[in-house]
Every structure is written in structure tokens, then in C-alpha cells.
């Protein structure tokens, strides 16, 4: 009964995260388009499958990967085993990113719209390797006391410099790839490592030193994907051609397809399982405390991840494409921008990772930061970012000029914002795009780019996630500057 109750709680929580999206969609369908979507029950069933998949996935993580991973990190910190901590950081960052549902969703869309030129599996490995490497850098930063803003400035100068030379087909994808690396799988593990390190080292600040790992994990994949795309479009051959008459779908029994899909999910989650078991049994030479529970959790992760991907194809992707087509048919740019604004705010306010990080920030800085205020400020930033990204698709113009302008503003604010807020601001920018928001926003961008004359799906379709990630960074730093300038606006804790 206890397991059923916890699963029900996770399922209801996933539905709660979906409801704001569905509310915005329903309002537009009933009062703007005055139409009922084709196959509405298919869309609803897809969304219910997504919710069930997320619930299984989250519950499985709570039973297996999270407790074991956190215990490993704590053991390394207590023993002072730097030689084990750094390899563990790389391995867990790589494994968590490879299995991240949002990364899978973006990689599948990138391979689809590039006609195979961008290989989805290779893209995921590039992103995962980038996260693993930067997690090593982030751990060293906390251990050595390096200022996070210096690393961010240097890193984003490289990101922006590559944007001048990278093929336009991969720039938007690269910025989006940074925005999807830190979500349902990686944020709790990464945040736990950073805060645990800062808490265990004398002289470190939880707010200034404990946060920042997520921010670095957003930045470096942008570099990795731009380098991969530059290599692919410069030296790679033509995309693989499908056999004559093929649609890319495998004919045959749908049951066989289901088992093949589940086998693929097993392959995707195995890296996390392998990392955890290797460091548990080989590095630390300790047995699992609750092996049956951990095994059951791994199985739930597998089934949940598979259900999530199936639900995306049935529900969220079609909704994003459908809404893009209907909005274009209305011929009202203001209406399209308004939809992006509402979707951005509604989904972000219910984002679990944002709620968790906001609560941790309030706890680490009593009297300075309000968790509720942070959520509102971040949600406003995401809403403005998606609305701005939609506007860019409608009016045209090179994506990299718009995004580079936004990052330039953020880099300038780094010098003026209170130093305690910089790491947290960039962390918050990395947790705003959830496993629910990413597929819908990605489908919306691709749908708009496909529907607007003169737009290229690969060049213009990606990028909304990037704006949804950087605008909250700006809004949080501006919020902190206002609070420092007008302290009377700050509410003291009761």
C-alpha cells in the first residue's frame, strides 16, 4: 500500500505539472480557435502515459539511483578521496545526461529535422561527455575555491566565439542542448554534490560555492555540440539515405516494436546502473543497503522512461505541432507571442526542480532570498524568453545575433549583480526547462519554423529553449540588484 500511495503521489504530481500546459491549450482551443483537435482521445491518452512514465521514473529514481548516488558522493567527501570523487563526477554526469528524457527528446527531433545529418545517439554522447567533463571542473572549483563568475565569463566567451564560425544549422541546437542537460535526472544529483562539498569544506559558502555546478553543466554542452556540428557539416558525408519506398517506419507487429523500444531504453539506462554498481562494489567495496529495492527502482526507471517516450509521440509532440499550425492560420503574431508567454509562465511555476532549488536557496540564505519570489521571477523570465524566441522566428533574423545579445547582457550583469547571486542565477536558468516543457516547446518552435515562409526548420526551429534558459538568469540578477538597492522591499523571515 505504501508503494501504491507513493506512486499515486508521483502520478498526481506529474498531472499537476501537465495541467497548466493543458489549461493554456484548452483556453486557446475553446475561445480562440473554437475547434476540437482531431483524435483528442489519442492526445489525452498520450498525456496520461507521459504522466505515468514520469511517475514511474521519479519513483524509481527515489528508490535506486538518487539514494545510492548521494551516498557515494557523501562517502567520497568524508574520506577525502579526490581520486575517486573526480572519476565519479564524470561518470555520473555522463550517465545521467545520456538517460535524460529531455536530451533524448531533443536528439530525436534534431535527427528527424536534419534528415539524419545530425545523429541523435552521437549528439547525446557529445552532450553527456560535456556534462561529465564540466562536472569534474565544477567539483575542482568548489574544492579550490575558484570564483564561478570567472569560469562562466571565460566559458561563454568561447561559446559566443564559436557561434561566429559554427554552421547556422547547429547553433540553435547547441544552445538548446545546454538548456536540456539539467533536468529530472541530473539536477538533484549535481546539486547534492555541490552543496555537500561546500558544506564539508571550511570557509565555503553554501550560496556562493554550493551552487554553480548546474550552471557549468548548461554551458559546456553548448561548446561540445557546436564543435560536433562544425565537424559534421565540414568533414562529414551526406546523411544516410532511406531505402527506396521506405518511410523510416519498421513494418510488422507493434508488439515487436514495443519490445525493441524497451530494449533500447535498457541500453540507455545501463550506463547509470553500471556507474553506481562499479563505484559501490569496486571503488568503495561496500554492499548495497537494500538491493531488492534498488533493483525494483531500476526496473521502474526503465519502464517509466519507455512510457515517457511513447507518450511524447502520442501527446506532447502532436500538441506542439498542432498549436503552431493553428496559431499560424490565425495570422496574428501577437496571439502567437501571447501563447508562448503563457505557456512559459504556466509550466515554470509548477516545475519541481525549480521549487527544490528555490527552497534550497532560501534555506542557504535566510532573509536574503525568498523561494516564492524566486519562482515568480524565474517564471517571468522564462515566459519573456519563450515569447522573445517566438517573436524571432516570426520576424526572422540570424539566431546567433539574438542569443549572443542576451548572453552579452547576462555577462555585463555579472559584474554588477551581488556575487552571492551569480551562481544561483545561472543554476536557475538551467532548471527551468523540464521534461514536460522541453518536448512541447521544441515541437512549437519546429512547427512555427515549418509553417512560416522563409524559415528553415533546422536553423530556426531550435532556440526557444535557449531563450527560456538565459532570460531567467537575467531576471534573477536584476531581482537581486533591486533587493540590494532597496532592502526595504525584502521581507524578513518570520
> Measured between alpha carbons, how far is 220 from 363 in angstroms, rounded to an integer?
28
Contact (Cβ atoms closer than 8 angstroms) between residue 185 and residue 99:
yes
C-alpha cell at 72: 557515494
C-alpha cell at 99: 538517460
What are the tens digits of pLDDT across the range 249-298? Answer: 444 444 555 566 666 667 666 777 777 778 778 777 777 777 888 888 88
| Residues 6 or more apart in contact with residue 198 via CB below 8 angstroms | 142, 204, 205, 206, 209, 210
What are the tens digits of pLDDT across the range 29-42? Answer: 888 888 777 777 87
Contact (Cβ atoms closer than 8 angstroms) between residue 303 and residue 430:
no
The domain segmentation of the chain, as residue ranges, is 2-238+254-487
Alpha helices in 145-212 (DSSP H): 148-165, 168-179, 186-200
State the average pLDDT over residues 219-239. Answer: 85
What pLDDT, on a 0 to 100 scale, did the predictor assign at position 430?
76
Contact (Cβ atoms closer than 8 angstroms) between residue 126 and residue 224:
yes
Is 0.75 topped by the overall pTM?
A: no
Split at pLDDT 50, 70, 90, the class of 329 is confident
Amino acid at each position: 500500500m505504501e508503494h501504491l500511495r507513493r506512486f499515486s503521489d508521483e502520478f498526481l504530481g506529474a498531472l499537476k505539472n501537465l495541467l497548466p500546459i493543458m489549461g493554456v491549450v484548452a483556453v486557446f482551443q475553446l475561445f480562440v480557435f473554437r475547434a476540437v483537435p482531431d483524435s483528442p482521445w489519442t492526445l489525452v491518452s498520450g498525456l496520461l502515459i507521459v504522466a505515468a512514465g514520469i511517475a514511474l521514473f521519479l519513483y524509481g529514481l527515489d528508490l535506486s539511483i538518487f539514494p545510492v548516488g548521494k551516498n557515494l558522493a557523501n562517502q567520497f567527501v568524508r574520506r577525502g578521496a579526490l581520486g575517486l570523487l573526480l572519476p565519479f563526477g564524470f561518470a555520473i554526469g555522463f550517465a545521467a545526461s545520456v538517460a535524460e528524457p529531455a536530451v533524448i527528446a531533443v536528439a530525436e527531433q534534431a535527427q528527424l529535422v536534419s534528415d539524419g545529418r545530425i545523429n541523435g545517439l552521437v549528439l547525446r554522447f557529445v552532450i553527456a561527455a560535456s556534462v561529465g567533463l564540466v562536472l569534474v571542473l565544477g567539483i575542482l572549483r568548489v574544492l579550490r575555491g575558484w570564483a564561478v563568475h570567472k569560469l562562466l565569463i571565460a566559458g561563454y566567451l568561447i561559446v559566443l566565439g564559436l557561434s561566429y564560425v559554427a554552421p547556422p544549422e547547429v547553433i540553435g541546437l547547441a544552445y538548446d542542448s545546454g538548456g536540456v542537460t539539467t533536468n529530472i535526472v541530473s539536477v538533484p544529483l549535481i546539486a547534492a554534490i555541490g552543496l555537500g562539498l561546500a558544506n564539508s569544506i571550511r570557509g565555503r559558502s553554501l550560496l556562493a560555492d554550493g551552487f554553480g555546478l548546474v550552471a557549468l553543466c548548461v554551458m559546456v554542452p553548448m561548446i561540445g555540440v557546436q564543435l560536433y556540428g562544425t565537424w559534421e557539416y565540414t568533414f562529414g558525408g551526406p546523411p544516410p539515405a532511406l531505402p527506396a519506398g521506405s518511410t523510416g517506419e519498421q513494418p510488422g507487429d507493434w508488439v515487436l516494436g514495443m519490445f525493441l523500444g524497451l530494449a533500447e531504453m535498457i541500453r540507455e539506462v545501463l550506463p547509470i546502473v553500471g556507474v553506481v554498481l562499479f563505484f559501490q562494489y569496486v571503488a568503495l567495496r561496500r554492499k548495497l543497503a537494500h538491493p531488492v529495492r534498488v533493483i525494483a527502482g531500476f526496473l521502474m526507471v526503465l519502464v517509466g522512461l519507455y512510457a515517457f517516450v511513447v507518450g511524447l509521440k502520442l501527446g506532447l509532440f502532436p500538441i506542439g505541432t498542432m498549436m503552431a499550425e493553428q496559431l499560424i492560420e490565425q495570422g496574428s503574431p501577437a496571439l502567437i507571442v501571447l501563447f508562448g508567454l503563457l505557456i512559459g509562465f504556466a509550466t515554470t511555476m509548477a516545475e519541481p526542480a525549480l521549487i527544490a532549488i528555490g527552497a534550497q536557496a532560501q534555506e542557504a540564505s535566510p532573509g536574503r532570498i525568498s523561494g516564492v519570489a524566486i519562482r515568480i521571477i524565474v517564471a517571468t523570465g522564462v515566459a519573456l524568453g519563450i515569447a522573445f524566441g517566438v517573436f524571432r522566428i516570426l520576424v526572422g533574423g540570424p539566431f546567433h545575433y539574438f542569443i549572443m545579445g542576451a548572453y552579452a547582457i547576462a555577462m555585463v550583469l555579472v559584474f554588477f549583480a551581488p556575487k552571492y547571486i551569480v551562481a544561483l542565477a545561472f543554476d536557475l536558468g538551467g532548471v527551468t526547462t523540464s521534461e514536460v516543457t522541453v518536448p512541447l516547446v521544441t515541437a512549437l518552435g519546429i512547427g512555427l519554423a515549418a509553417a512560416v515562409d522563409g524559415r528553415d526548420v533546422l536553423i530556426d526551429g531550435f532556440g526557444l529553449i535557449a531563450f527560456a534558459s538565459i532570460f531567467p538568469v537575467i531576471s534573477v540578477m536584476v531581482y537581486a540588484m533591486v533587493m540590494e538597492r532597496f532592502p526595504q522591499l525584502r521581507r524578513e523571515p518570520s
